[in-house]
Amino acid sequence: MAKPTVYRFCAGPWNFSEGQDPYGPPTRSGESFDWKLAALKKLGFEAMMFHDDDAVPDIDTKSPRQVLKEAKELKKRLDGEGIAAEMVAPRLWFAPQTVDGAYTSNNPKHRRYAIDRSKQSIDIARVLGTDILVLWLAREGSYIRESKDAGRCVDYLVEACDAMLAHDRKIRLAIEPKPNEPMDVAYVPTIGHALAIAQLTRDPKRVGALIESAHAILAGLDPSDEIEFAMAFKKLWSLHLNDQNGLKFDQDKPFGSANLRVAFNQVRALERTGYGRNGEYVCFDVHPFRTTRPEHWLKHLDNSRKTFLRLVEKARTYPEKEAKTLIADLNYQDLDQLVLDHLLGR
Ligand code: GLO
Ligand code: MG
């Protein structure tokens, strides 16, 4: 039997957010990057994930040389702290060029901007020592159906992936699906869509996925099934665990906060499929509640990890034999209760 996975944890600088929402300003004043790096260390997390402009602020105003220089400086700081860079993601949803899509914009100049910026993110990833480029396709979708050609957008997405794969022979693209928000409807809403796009690219082996719990729930799916699906293709290269209370705005709640059983099944899926054995990290894409006071600023991350580790124990002590007998007997009534009793502690 394989040795139990020792999980390693990761978060991004945006996960130390300041409480702003569409209806109100920040409720905590911003902290510096160094503070966030120190906070991750204090939490015992081993890696940080980066948007390109987290790594190099104001990236669009800097020359390629300057960008690489700053990326190298960052790498030194990370090495000094013993924190790895888990991934880099081009932030393709802020700039005016991405107002109606980046890779799938109707405007060829804007599509070019998106591809060039993605190539630059790959250069940053190389400097930071990671081979994972995460593509959260935030604005690849439509506000109204008639504004874009959905079929052509598939071609545009494939073209963009091909350009990135050609730019660096080692880079792996991890597509992070989400069904909506900020768009009304996104073109890559599920893992199935992401892996289908992968098959059309010049090197399908280097195009995989990142699953976020909340995004699967927003798509009306069970995140544990999404995990098992991606792992069946050996394509789950990163993970954003969090929680989501049904179909509403993207909540990014602490892991397990809304539905402990759904969280348990995600952990069980990771255990069953061996996620983490090839060095993949468990990242928490969670935000503090708006009400959080600065002295409790790290709790959402610490608590997410605590819940995760307790659920690992629950997965490892799950009464498999008893469950198997009940499954063979089609006694799902008692199987259901077995799970609840196990989670509640007998
Ligand atoms: C938003 C996404 C976002 C991405 C991040 C990395 O819904 O989850 O947080 O994960 O920008 O690309
Ligand atoms: Mg995410």
Arithmetic mean of pLDDT, 334-339: 98
Q: What tokens does 305 get?
A: 């990890």
Distances (CA, A) of 211 to 117, 217, 324: 23, 11, 28
For the stretch 261-297, what's the b/e string if a residue is b when 16 or more beta carbons lie within 10 angstroms of its beta carbon? ebbbbbbbbbbebebbeeebbbbbbbbbeeebeeeeb
Tokens 């007997």, located at residue: 329
Specify the residue with its C-alpha closest to ligand 1, atom 9: 285
Give pLDDT, residue 184: 97
Indicate whether 279 belongs to any domain: yes
Which three-class secondary structure state does DSSP give residue 237? strand
Residue 194 identity = A
- Name, in order, each residue with C-beta under 8 angstroms of 305's C-beta and a sequence gap of 6 or more: 9, 43, 45, 255, 284
Number of domains in the chain: 1
Indicate whether 3 belongs to any domain: no
Q: Is the CB of 240 under 6 A from ligand 1?
A: yes
In this predicted model, what pLDDT tens digit does every residue of 156-180 receive, in sequence order?
A: 999 999 999 999 999 999 999 999 9
Give pLDDT, residue 319: 98
Tokens 């597509």, located at residue: 175
Give pLDDT, residue 132: 98
Specify the residue with its C-alpha closest to ligand 1, atom 3: 136
Give pLDDT, residue 171: 98
The DSSP code for 108 is H
DSSP string, 3-37: PPP---EEE-GGGS----BTTB--SS----HHHHH
Ligand nearest the Cα atom of residue 241: 2
- Name, in order, each residue with C-beta under 8 angstroms of 337's C-beta and a sequence gap of 6 or more: none
Rg (CA), the chain: 20
CA of 180 to the centre of ligand 2 (A): 13
A 10 A CB-CB count for 12 gives: 23
Indicate whether 269 belongs to any domain: yes
Task: Give me the helix-helix angle, 150-167 and 108-128, nearest 10°.
Answer: 40
Give pLDDT, residue 64: 97
1, pLDDT greater than 80: no
In this predicted model, what pLDDT tens digit does every residue of 57-73 receive, in sequence order?
A: 999 999 999 999 999 99
Specify the residue with its C-alpha closest to ligand 1, atom 4: 136
Arithmetic mean of pLDDT, 240-267: 97
Output phi, psi for 101, to 5 deg.
Answer: 110, 150
Indicate whether 91 belongs to any domain: yes
Give pLDDT, residue 217: 98
Average pLDDT of the residues of the chain: 97
Indicate whether 320 belongs to any domain: yes
Sign, Cα dihedral of 57, 133, 186, 267: negative
144, pLDDT greater than 70: yes
Q: Which atom of ligand 1 is nearest to the CA of 135?
A: 12
Indicate whether 290 belongs to any domain: yes
Length of the chain: 346
Q: Is the CB of 89 under 6 A from ligand 1?
A: yes
- For residue 44, give the CATH number of its domain: 3.20.20.150
pLDDT confidence bin for 304, thresholds 50/70/90: very high
250, pLDDT greater than 90: yes
In this predicted model, what pLDDT tens digit does every residue of 18-61 receive, in sequence order?
A: 999 999 999 999 999 999 999 999 999 999 999 999 999 999 99
Arithmetic mean of pLDDT, 210-232: 98
Distances (CA, A) of 205 to 144, 172, 175: 33, 8, 13
Ligand nearest the Cα atom of residue 287: 1
Which of 176, 248, 250 should be mutated for ligand 1, with most atoms under 8 A from CB? 176
Query: What is the residue range of 228's domain?
Result: 9-344
225, pLDDT greater than 90: yes
Which of 16, 92, 285, 287 should be mutated for ligand 1, with most atoms under 8 A from CB? 285
Which of 16, 53, 134, 136 should be mutated for ligand 1, with most atoms under 8 A from CB? 136
Indicate whether 90 belongs to any domain: yes
Indicate whether 2 belongs to any domain: no
Give pLDDT, residue 2: 78
CA of 53 to the centre of ligand 2 (A): 16
